[in-house]
Structure 1
Amino acid sequence: MGKPLPPPFDKQKVVAENRRARYDYFVEDRLEAGIELTGTEVKSLRGGEGSIAESYAAVEAKELWLINSHIPEYSHGNRMNHQPRRPRKLLLKGREIAKLQGAVTRQGLTLVPLSLYFNASGRAKVELAVARGKKMHDKRDTEKERDWKREQGRLLRNNG
């Protein structure tokens, strides 16, 4: 029997999801990280704007950074508005960062954000996945399996 699934994170308001990540990667482990934001970034995210479609996380100098995420400028911000694609620091304990760095360097894994959301206490969080990249034949197998599951559902519904 497989390993039991971890309990899902407390996602109150999901701002952005990276749906493509589950198609391009095998997700091996998931973890929740805080994200260091400025005031206008938080306001922009609360308005439901933001994208993590092409972003990734990287360890630099014992710190974890979210790179290439896009949070558009706040519409009512003044000259102190933020840069939309700046690197944002992710907040994890040092032990967790060291563990992630080991997985990335030794095993060739990638840190991919799956979703950006606000939790029950109103804090912005990022759901990170430690993932292994899929090859083209893996993607085709996943697609075939998904199509077969859909067809099974149709057959059971029509003939059931």
Structure 2
Amino acid sequence: MPKEKGQKVVAQNRKARHDYHIEDTWEAGLVLVGTEVKSLRAGRASLQDGFAEVDDHEVWLQGVHIPEYTQGTWTNHAARRKRKLLLNRTEIAKIERKITDKGYTLVPLQLYFKDGRAKVEIGLARGKKAYDKRHSLAERQANREQEQAVQRRLKGHTD
């Protein structure tokens, strides 16, 4: 029975949603060593340059920076080592089929603890072009202005 309940977010990759069209997401467990878990519990991690790849029917997370544990000794871990992701065989097969299409990649979106266990949310992503990024920014700004106008109207302010 886990001691913790709920979900505690350690790191998010906000830039991934800006740079990529996320088409599908999966939740995967992580194979970690003890000092990595302690460092994550302290809330220290970066998903900035992270990506995942399928190698011999296994999914590996690379480029994710989990800094060394400050109270660690010679047993400390390497900050940017490859980490195995725990997924079902059917999920891995589905990911492999989709990755073979040109232009798709696996990107870590969020790193969190769920009921005391470290999890990572990975997304199947296709890169955005510069004009797609500008379009999504303009769309978000228009929605924000529209919401503000509705709130002003509800409060009785006239423009």
Alignment TM-score, normalising by the size of structure 1: 0.89
Cα distance in 2 between the residues matched to 1:58 and 1:133: 16
Offset from partner CA, 1:47-91 (integer Å, 9 cap, x none): 111111110100112111001000000011101100000011101
Kept in 2, the 8 Å contact 1:28–1:130? The answer is: yes
Cα distance in 2 between the residues matched to 1:108 and 1:23: 16
Match of 1:81 in 2: 76
Q: Which runs of 5+ in 2 are unaligned?
A: 155-159
* Distance change (3 Å), C-alpha of 1:43 and 1:34: same
Moved segments of 4+, more than 4 Å? none
Cα distance in 1 between the residues matched to 2:16 and 2:102: 19
Asked if residue 154 in structure 1 is aligned to residue 148 in structure 2, the reply is yes
Offset from partner CA, 1:86-124 (integer Å, 9 cap, x none): 01110112221121111111253111111000002x110
Kept in 1, the 8 Å contact 2:103–2:127? The answer is: no
Kept in 2, the 8 Å contact 1:74–1:81? The answer is: yes
Cα distance in 2 between the residues matched to 1:147 and 1:95: 40
Cα distance in 2 between the residues matched to 1:107 and 1:82: 34
What SS does the corresponding residue of 1:113 show, helix, strand or coil? strand
Amino acid at match of 1:133: G
Post-superposition offset of 1:11: 5.7
The structure that has the greater radius of gyration is 2
Identify the range of structure 1 (95-104 vs 31-40) with the bigger mean alpha-carbon deviation. Answer: 95-104
What SS does the corresponding residue of 1:106 show, helix, strand or coil? coil
Kept in 1, the 8 Å contact 2:110–2:120? The answer is: yes
Match of 1:144 in 2: 138
Cα distance in 2 between the residues matched to 1:152 and 1:80: 54
Aligned length: 150
Cα distance in 2 between the residues matched to 1:46 and 1:108: 34
Alignment of 1:53-64 (within 5 A): 53-64=48-59
Query: Alignment RMSD, CA only?
Result: 1.3
Amino acid at match of 2:108: P
1:133 to 123, 127, 134: 127
Kept in 1, the 8 Å contact 2:61–2:85? The answer is: yes
Alignment of 1:2-151 (within 5 A): 12-120=7-115, 122-151=116-145
Cα distance in 2 between the residues matched to 1:129 and 1:136: 20
Kept in 2, the 8 Å contact 1:11–1:117? The answer is: no
Cα distance in 2 between the residues matched to 1:27 and 1:106: 15
Q: Which runs of 5+ in 1 are unaligned?
A: 1-9
